[in-house]
Structure 1
Amino acid sequence: MTQNKELHLPDIRRLRHMMYVCLLLTALSLTLVIWLCRPGGNHLPWKQPNRVTSKPQTSGRKHATHNQIPGNKVVPGRSASLVKVNGTKTLLTSAFLEHRFTKKEVRVIAIVLRSEKVDYRCHLRCENQLNISSGFRFIHHDHFGFPYGAAHIMCPVPPSCESPAHIAITSAASEPKDEMELHFLEVENQRTDSFYFHDFTVCISTMFNFTNALQLVQSLEMFKILGVNRVVVYKTNCSMETQRALNYYAQTGFVEEVPWSLSEFLSVSDYWSPEHNPGVLHYFGQIPALNDCLYRHMYQAKYVAMHDIDELILPQSVDSWVDLLPLLEKNFGVDKCYQFENNVFPNNIVLPPSMPETKPPAQGCWKSVTGVNILEHLYQEPVNLRNVGKSFKIIVNPQAVFTTSVHGVLKSTNGCVWVNRTIARMYHTRSQQQTLLKPGDLIYDGRLLDYSKRLLTAVNKALREIGLLSGDHVC
């Protein structure tokens, strides 16, 4: 018996070894499947070596942002997709044909390390030819002191190339040995004969840690009432309720959601200055996102508004932007950048109406929906004279603008004008800014109530269809 047992020991060891190998292969296979099924995981990294995809961003801040309702779970968003210029710190977001100069150029929107000096090469694909020229970079001066900033790389188009279809950017110090190593961006805005597909497009950037579903729905419905045709949201992450609302409006074509998470490649800040929150790029890359939105809709929208989701530009003598913009053009001229004064309505203070008959019809409504009810906050802070000229938002003719920032434009053909608050002004429902003010210091403004009947009906309908409000809880 002992002899037979010794003879079978090697077979048992081989069997155990094979079992270990099978278990290891199974574990590796499961890991690969999980990796491929994660958000954005269907892009194999070795197929596009120059394409940088990022993990969803989560904020390290312990206090709530103006978009966030404390205690609500934020779910990851999809990753943005950038093109890296080999041998540099430059990231490319998108490319557009520039028609407004005597000599045609391609404008590439980029994120760059400001201190890095790069000699760029532009590889323009035109039909079956590849044209190579030098590119010129200029960096936006609104970088707020962060090491990285938004930039435009300008590439000349040769006379023989009427419509370059694709472009790749390289560094002269790291030229590829083969064309197959180039990663091309599509050159957009090829045609300009489809002007004004929309009258008004609103660019929202950037949505991060966003859980304020009720105010999102209210703002989107108010945009509709004001005459907006399209809202473009550059989203990093949001709550599940918010995502359901975005999906609902995207299905109707009213909202376009653009994934915008840059955290794998860059340590982005979730504040406007490095002193308040560290990082290498301002506010989740807000400025390159705004410029991307401006150019993507340059020949699709007559006007583009640069907004946050908690802001509304309300006319005072007319009811919509459709009626407001002709007044502004008449008073200030066309092709202008129109700037609207910021007025803060604290969302942490609820006061009784100034008169009983002005009681908001939606006061106490939608309690089951997460977020802020803007119709309950009708008292504004006095205008802070120190912030006049600093905190405002704009509506522009996109074809008259070359570069834009968070507040105002950096370069345009005809400059900007201030719109008097008696004509139109911005209603910003957010956390209190002037924290030393007492409730009695706030000023009542019931302009929003002029829209309340239409808004009430529209929000009820939307919340029911989204599934955030049951039939017996409508207002």
Structure 2
Amino acid sequence: MVTLSYLKLQRLSHLPKIIQEGGRCEGKIANSTITPLEDNRTFIISPYFDDRESKVTRVIGIVHHEDVKQLYCWFCCQPDGQVYVSKARIDVHSDRFGFPYGATDIVCLEPQTCDPTHVSIHQSPHGNVEQLPVFEIKNRKAEGFSVDFTVCISTMFGNYNNVLQFIQSVEMYKILGAQKVVIYKNNCSHLMEKVLQFYVEEGTVEIIPWPINSHLRVSSEWHFMQDGTHIGYYGQ
């Protein structure tokens, strides 16, 4: 199943403001697939440069739709060390099926005076930027696509072990012209690991670690069952 979502940018009214000049403005670079903020209600996956309608950074994340009401993007401009803060628009996707957490676009206007390569996300426009995790802004430099046709499949979880089905699927994707299959892997069986490794070495499969159950109580159901879980279907 393939889901396509077209998100239209709305005009952002909060222009970035300088809050700090000079000095060191980088914190610790975040390298995890999922990075929690200190509120434990916001989880950052990855920021992207988006200039389709205006010069913005679009951050893909997971947010508690009731508790998180405001977030700020902290942009560091190099080499002058100025830090710009921009209030974010928080767009929690509507298809969260009753769960308190959902996939979210956190969208911020970028400063006009520079093209920042990294950004931090914080609940406040005030604080110490050196204490915040820093995320690389993807897509900053326009590059050609490495492949023409990629397939992303649902999260692999539950000690997945249907090796035959997986091999049949990947081989069919290849027949249909897919050059890359991306797997968000939570966990799988030892035998499945061997199959994945074969396709990784072949160059067909790319694996993205997906340890979402280290941060949230996940459900294997797509709809909320009032059972204390936070997000559906392992964060699909």
TM category, shorter = 0.7 to 0.9
Query: Which secondary structure does the structure 1 equivalent of 2:193 belong to?
Result: helix
- Which of 152, 155, 159 is matched with 1:203 structurally? 152
Query: Which secondary structure does the structure 1 equivalent of 2:219 belong to?
Result: coil
* 2:118 paired with 1:166: yes
- Which of 23, 28, 46 is matched with 1:94 structurally? 46
Unaligned runs of 5+ in 1: 1-47, 54-79, 287-475
Residue 141 (structure 1) aligns with:
94
Count how many residue pairs are aligned between Structure 1 and Structure 2.
207
Residues 200 and 81 (structure 1), Cα distance of their counterparts in 2 relative to 1, 3 Å cut = closer
Give, in angstroms, the shift of residue 285 of structure 1.
Answer: 0.6
User: In 1, Cα distance between the equivalents of 2:123 and 2:40?
Assistant: 7
User: In 1, Cα distance between the equivalents of 2:47 and 2:228?
Assistant: 29
Query: Which secondary structure does the structure 2 equivalent of 1:122 belong to?
Result: strand
- Which of 94, 98, 105 is matched with 2:56 structurally? 105
Please list the CA deviations of residues 204-224 of structure 1 after superposition, one character each: whole Å capped at 9, or x if unmatched.
120112100111111111111
- Which of 68, 71, 75 is matched with 1:124 structurally? 75
Query: Which secondary structure does the structure 2 equivalent of 1:144 belong to?
Result: coil
Residue 85 (structure 1) aligns with:
37
Superposition map of 1:338-417 within 5 A: none
2:89–2:108 Cα contact (<8 Å) kept:
yes
Residues 274 and 49 (structure 1), Cα distance of their counterparts in 2 relative to 1, 3 Å cut = farther
User: In 2, Cα distance between the equivalents of 1:275 and 1:285?
Assistant: 15
Superposition map of 1:6-45 within 5 A: none
Give, in angstroms, the shift of residue 278 of structure 1.
Answer: 5.2
Residues 184 and 49 (structure 1), Cα distance of their counterparts in 2 relative to 1, 3 Å cut = closer
User: In 2, Cα distance between the equivalents of 1:179 and 1:225?
Assistant: 49
Residue 426 (structure 1) aligns with:
none
Greater relative contact order (Cα 8 A, min sep 6): structure 1 or 2? 2
Q: Which has the higher mean CA deviation after the structures are superposed, 259-268 or 128-137?
A: 128-137
Query: Which secondary structure does the structure 2 equivalent of 1:205 belong to?
Result: coil
* 2:187 paired with 1:187: no
* 2:175 paired with 1:225: yes
Please list the CA deviations of residues 59-81 of structure 1 after superposition, one character each: whole Å capped at 9, or x if unmatched.
xxxxxxxxxxxxxxxxxxxxx64
For the aligned residues, what is the CA RMSD?
2.2
Q: How high is the TM-score relative to the length of structure 2?
A: 0.81
User: In 2, Cα distance between the equivalents of 1:164 and 1:239?
Assistant: 41
Q: How high is the TM-score relative to the length of structure 1?
A: 0.41
Residues 224 and 117 (structure 1), Cα distance of their counterparts in 2 relative to 1, 3 Å cut = closer
Residue 386 (structure 1) aligns with:
none
- Which of 260, 272, 289 is matched with 2:222 structurally? 272
Higher helix share: 1
User: In 2, Cα distance between the equivalents of 1:169 and 1:143?
Assistant: 22
User: In 2, Cα distance between the equivalents of 1:278 and 1:181?
Assistant: 32
User: In 2, Cα distance between the equivalents of 1:50 and 1:277?
Assistant: 35
User: In 2, Cα distance between the equivalents of 1:277 and 1:86?
Assistant: 25
1:88–1:171 Cα contact (<8 Å) kept:
no
% identical equivalent positions: 36
Query: Which secondary structure does the structure 1 equivalent of 2:178 belong to?
Result: coil
User: In 2, Cα distance between the equivalents of 1:140 and 1:50?
Assistant: 27
* 2:174 paired with 1:251: no
1:94–1:109 Cα contact (<8 Å) kept:
yes
Residue 346 (structure 1) aligns with:
none
User: In 2, Cα distance between the equivalents of 1:112 and 1:148?
Assistant: 5
Query: Which secondary structure does the structure 2 equivalent of 1:215 belong to?
Result: helix
Q: Which amino acid aligns with 1:151?
A: T
User: In 2, Cα distance between the equivalents of 1:238 and 1:117?
Assistant: 33
Query: Which secondary structure does the structure 1 equivalent of 2:149 belong to?
Result: strand
